[in-house]
Amino acid sequence: MEIFDFLKKTKETEETEVTKEIEEIKSEICLGVLDLFPMKESNQLLIVGSLEGSLKRGDCLQFCNPDQGMASLGTLVVKKLSSQQKDRDFLTDEPLAHLVVDMDSSLTKLKKGSVLYSSGVDEESRLSAYTDTIYRAFVAIQKGQLTNEDYLAASLEDSVEIMRLFLWKCRQEQETESEESYQINARKLERLAEIVRDKLLEADSIYAVYSEKTGEPYLFSTTYDRGEDGYLCTDPMIMLFTPRWYHQFKETIDSRPNSTVKLIENTADKKGIENFLGTAFYLNGALGVIFNTKEVSISCSVLVQKPDFSGLPETQVPLMNPELVRWMLLMGQMDKPSKEDEKLIYSLYYKFFSIALPKAKFLLPLDATSGFPKKDQEIHSFVLEKDSNVNIPCRDGENGRNSVPVFTDWKRFRMVFDEKWNGMVEKAGAMIEVFDYAINPTEYLEAGAYVSKESFDEMKKLTDKLEDRDEK
């Protein structure tokens, strides 16, 4: 009899331990907020969310907004639980749980995508709950649309994640969707892109990938072999990371060769990020932005409009050569091509560079010793007198020829020459008979190029040939 009692006790002990273990697992509670409804008459808040774990009335939970960080923003106590319109004492793994809590000033930080959790829930679980909740709230339920309240509450991280998940949903259905559905989704994506733009320009900061070789934002482009149709280079774009994404994947991102990540902080007037983008687009030639992953990209015209200089005299229009700089930066950020595919890509970039160069205009440095107007004179254009003396910085070039430094814009010009130097607009090829060009010879030599007379003549022939073909 004692033997059976012992076996019975052992079995009961094992069952108790298993039950205890299950309870410990279930005690880790994670709930993503799908919606919020203030109950003004009782000064309480109804929270609707997707529950993982076991939750009972009286439980105390912390909450955070993973889009902004994992720090706890406050605590709340569950006063009431319900599911499927029935009050419950506890709920377990409920996809649509209803919680009633007392209203508190800290709860104003709650929004769709917030995560409620118990102690012991790790950051990975909270991030997973955040992503799942964003998908359910804004993609599965709201079909890619945001209310005005959603728009005001959403962060940059939220808006990028909503767009990424909605894009994923659209791609899953693209083979079966109708033309009408496609057009509706396209309009929704346009609106989501505008929301990302608004949140980006208002953000306190953003992280950008830079090239260590060129000192400029890294340009990302992929080359595809289209067979008989030749090769296609996708639009070169810069890559930005939201703070949450960068900190989560920092080790992987920082390990990318020949690149570094820089923090771009906004200014008090909220023009810092906009100016950064404008430089990347309209001086460097980037055609858009990739956010966090290559799944979300937005064209430059949506994010920052091209500067309109139509009302300015030609002499006051800032010099810009984005079509030329784009290809110089793409070539400059590459290592020396050694593999066949690398040589092919480099040759494509060089071809586009060759087409753009004869159409360019440069700034030629001039050290004026006489004949120039004084600095305090508001004169934007003038004619040099016959006996005026100007100094052009000339250097030894290649093959016994001399070269002159020329610049694609004032930004690069001032990286080398201070305010004592003036700049004269030089149409590409105007001085090539006498001088070779050292284009943008800044401290980042890879970001520039050296063009000899022979090279320029070849580029001019290629451009003329293409123009003749287009006219026919």
Average pLDDT over residues 339-362: 94
Q: Is the pLDDT at 23 greater than 60, yes or no?
A: no
Report the alpha-carbon distance of residue 463 to residue 31 in Å, rounded. 61
Q: Is the pLDDT at 7 greater than 50, yes or no?
A: no
Per-residue pLDDT band at 472 (split at 50, 70, 90): low
What DSSP state is assigned to residue 237?
B
Q: How much is the mean pLDDT over the chain? A: 89
Q: Is the pLDDT at 389 greater than 80, yes or no?
A: no
- Which residue bears the tokens 């139509």? 310
- Domains with residue ranges and CATH for the chain: 27-141 (2.40.30.10), 148-303 (no CATH), 338-375+387-471 (no CATH)
What DSSP state is assigned to residue 146?
-
More confident residue, 135 or 467: 135
Q: Is the pLDDT at 167 greater than 80, yes or no?
A: yes
Note the pLDDT tens digit of each residue in 61-91. Answer: 999 999 999 999 999 999 999 999 899 999 9
Per-residue pLDDT band at 382 (split at 50, 70, 90): very low
113-122, 346-355, 415-424: range with lowest mean pLDDT: 415-424
* 47 beta partners: 36, 99
Q: Is the pLDDT at 15 greater than 60, yes or no?
A: no
What DSSP state is assigned to residue 365?
E
b/e code 157-186 from CB counts within 10 Å (16+ = b): bbbbbbbbbbbeebeeeeeeeeeeeeeebe
Q: Is the pLDDT at 197 greater than 80, yes or no?
A: yes
Confidence (pLDDT) at 283: 97
Per-residue pLDDT band at 185 (split at 50, 70, 90): very high
What proportion of the chain, given as a percentage, has pLDDT over 90?
75
Q: The whole model's pTM is what? A: 0.87
DSSP H or E run through 126? helix 123-134
Average pLDDT over residues 278-300: 96
Contacts of residue 246, Cβ cutoff 8 Å, sequence gap at least 6: 207, 253, 261
b/e code 45-71 from CB counts within 10 Å (16+ = b): bbbbbbbbbbbebebebbbbbbbbebe
Cα of first residue to Cα of last residue in the chain, in angstroms, is 106
